[in-house]
Amino acid sequence: MGSRTVVADVADELARRVATGEYRPGDLMPSVRQVAEEFGMNRATAQLILGRLESYGFVQARRGKGFTIRDVRVEGGMDVYRHLFRFSITAPAVAAEMFADIVEVERGIVGEALLAYTLGPKVLDQVELTAAVDALEAMARRPEPDHIQIIEAEIALVRKLLGVLGMTMQRAVLNSIADMVVEVPEAVTAYFAVAADLHVLVWRALLAMWDVESAPSEAQLALFDDLFTLYHQKVTARFDELVGESPVGTVTRLSSAV
């Protein structure tokens, strides 16, 4: 390991052991001496590494005892959950179930925002929204689309809706979810289980719906909800395929970390 990355690399390895259950909640982390010996480093560097684990929220310093492993799935907030998802990627069953949970929460927030704006007064500038979707289409039609850029552009559109709807808490959670997804390449790829063009078509359909004065019919809303649900099912299935295992077991729901 290079000297510039040794702290980060070893901290990530120890965090992975916590995330995958190799180190159990309530147990003591390896001591400074043990970490130094295992990874061939001095104790000052080992102390920095355990301090980084504490900054992740994975361990808690106990006076005279060292560092105790936290039950991060129960006690952790959104930032801890973000780290937990990133480090769990080497445990396919855990990662798959966590991703399914992330997708469920994202789908709920985005679906609620789209429905509320569709049924409410259209206060956003339709020309501005159309320009944003045009830009999204230009990204999607590139020979090699930048998936992270497309995700960020779509999140920006949803944030506009959440802002005018006064859904500030949902906007904060959506921002955290976006951070979780873009840090994990398999998650980014999974969100494009269908062609990037489909993302644009959905926004085009919404713009057309928002451009008319009459409210959408129940049949139109039901069809959109079915398509929205089907898309997210494809996303989670693609992630399962990418990590190599379908989810089994139980992890704490993301909603409990909000």
**What is the domain partition of the chain in residue ranges?**
6-70, 78-257
CATH of domain 6-70: 1.10.10.10
User: Which stretch of DSSP H or E encloses residue 154?
Assistant: helix 147-164
pTM, rounded to two decimals: 0.82
Q: CA angle, corner 56, sides to 241 and 239, nearest 5?
A: 10
Cα separation, 143 vs 29, in Å, equals 48
* pLDDT(250) > 90: no
Over the stretch 174-187, which tens digit does the pLDDT of each residue have?
999 999 999 999 99
Contacts 24+ apart (CB under 8 A), 26-33: 26/68, 26/69, 26/71, 27/68, 27/69, 28/65, 28/66, 28/67, 28/68, 28/69, 29/53, 29/59, 29/66, 29/67, 29/68, 29/69, 31/66, 32/66
Task: Write down the pLDDT at residue 48.
Answer: 93
- Do domains 6-70 and 78-257 share one topology? The answer is no
Pick the CATH number of 78-257 from 1.20.1530, 1.20.120, 1.10.10, 2.40.160: 1.20.120
* pLDDT(151) > 90: yes
* pLDDT(3) > 70: no
Task: Write down the pLDDT at residue 245.
Answer: 65
Higher-scoring residue by pLDDT: 33, 90 = 33
